[in-house]
Amino acid sequence: MMSKIKEIQLRRAVISDAEAIAAVRIEGWQTSYRGMIPDSYLDTMSLEENVEQWRTILQALPTNEQNLRVYVAVSGDEIIGFISMVKLAEPKLGRDGEINAIYIRPQWQRCGIGKRMMHKAARSLQEMGCSSCVIWVIDGNSVARNFYEELGGQILVEQDFTWDGLDLTEVGYGWDDLSVLLASADAMPFPRAMQ
């Protein structure tokens, strides 16, 4: 375990971050969804495919920053998490913004980084002209669900969906007003540093 939390920086993601972002996402799935998604799927997630997907997303950022932003959380020169948000072309569940990915390496969770990233996402969505947002989570992910509820997220829908041939249930959490998410993130106490 870490002896102390180092200074964490949040910065805009760039194309060269694609591999680190993909690795954080895969590690997140393999730890968060173990027991909810078959091991055979989790254990064969392809880093190369994920890197290509993220390269495509990150290449579009410079010309699309009014509709899509991705930030990475960095400790030293290591990317330890990321968050992605988008201004929706068509509202979902009455919300005009979406946080479509948030992942933090397991050893960095419960250190306040997720709170900072959610604050950054809410502020960025406001800058993009959004007033509300939605975020999705697989229903069995109680850690993420508790986190969104602590931040004032309201359950909007629980629905079945199919992902890569897997039948799953997702929960949509929403904030009617991004200022509520900002205030909730500001009000959440920082956890004590890991010993």
User: Does an H or E element contain 118, and which?
Assistant: helix 113-127
- 98 is a domain residue: yes
3-state secondary structure 136-180: EEECCCHHHHHHHHHCCCEEEEEEEEEECCEEEEEEEEEECCHHH
Cα separation, 32 vs 167, in Å, equals 17
Enclosing domain of residue 166: 8-187
- 194 is a domain residue: no
- 94 is a domain residue: yes
Question: Which pLDDT belongs to residue 5?
Answer: 52
Helix (H, G, I), strand (E, B) or coil at 100: strand
The closest alpha carbon to 80, from 60, 103, 56, belongs to 103
Residue 1 above 70 pLDDT? no
- 2 is a domain residue: no
| Digit-coded pLDDT (tens) for 86-101 | 999 999 999 999 999 9
| Digit-coded pLDDT (tens) for 52-79 | 999 999 998 877 778 999 999 999 889 9
Residue 193 above 70 pLDDT? no
**Cα Dmax for the chain:** 46
- 3 is a domain residue: no
Residue pair 121/151 in contact (Cβ under 8 Å)? The answer is no
The contacts of residue 93 (CB under 8 Å, 6+ apart) are: 134, 156, 157, 172, 174
- 193 is a domain residue: no
Specify which residues 107 forms β-bridges with.
none
| Digit-coded pLDDT (tens) for 130-189 | 999 999 999 999 999 999 999 999 999 999 999 888 899 999 999 999 999 999 888 876
CATH of the domain at 172: 3.40.630.30
How much is the pTM?
A: 0.90
Cα separation, 41 vs 25, in Å, equals 14
18 to 24, 70, 139, 185, 191: CA distances (angstroms): 10, 11, 27, 27, 29
Specify which residues 175 forms β-bridges with.
133
In the chain, the number of structural domains is 1
Residue pair 96/90 in contact (Cβ under 8 Å)? The answer is no
- 136 is a domain residue: yes
- 80 is a domain residue: yes
Residue 23 above 90 pLDDT? yes
